[in-house]
Amino acid sequence: MGGPWGPGCYDLPVAVALYPGTFDPFTNGHVDILRRGAALFERVIVAVGARVEKQTLLPVEERVALAKASAAGLRNVDAMPFTGLVVDFAKKQGATVLLRGIRNPMDYEYETQMAVTNRRLAPAIETVFLVASADSSFISSTLIKEILAAGGSVDAFVPEPVAKALRGRKR
């Protein structure tokens, strides 16, 4: 006796979500969005951007490995590198959702522009925004790199596998 709001009232598609980014490095904020996304979607793929023109602290292979290690325990999450357009990679992976985190109004402006562009390029792929949790809304990969460059510890801002990989490194 489902009625309009009971069990089975919605025929929701089983969705694969793509969580794209550079993830240089993977932060506790990324983990927050990833955990919450993993609870919403059947499968989440962390798509680690491998653009050669973008200078990164860590090589793409290490960023993929650290994303996987940071997602340990989330059985429906995987990570892999990609190049090219996010929507093209999403199609190849069978993803119908792009998962994005929003920390502040600047993120919202940028992410909205990207979402509209991606929608124009691939109308069948939706973008879903998750607002960052209060305890991680200030964390960014840029902030992590600045702390590292100044010789500080980033242990409180990144998952343990990332902290271990970054110990002793400077940008």
Q: What is the pLDDT of residues 29-56, one digit of tens each?
A: 999 999 999 999 999 999 999 976 778 9
d(CA 50, CA 84): 9
Rg (Cα) of the chain, in Å, rounded? 17
pTM (two decimals): 0.89
pLDDT of 142-167, one tens digit each?
A: 999 999 999 999 999 999 999 999 98
Select which of 63, 68, 100, 103 is catalytic: 103
Concerning whether 103 is annotated as a catalytic residue, the answer is: yes
Concerning whether 171 is annotated as a catalytic residue, the answer is: no
Closest by CA to 158, choosing from 81, 63, 41, 77, is: 63
| Residue ranges of domains in the chain | 16-166
Fold of 16-166: Rossmann fold (3.40.50)
pLDDT of 3-31, one tens digit each?
A: 455 555 455 566 999 999 999 999 999 99
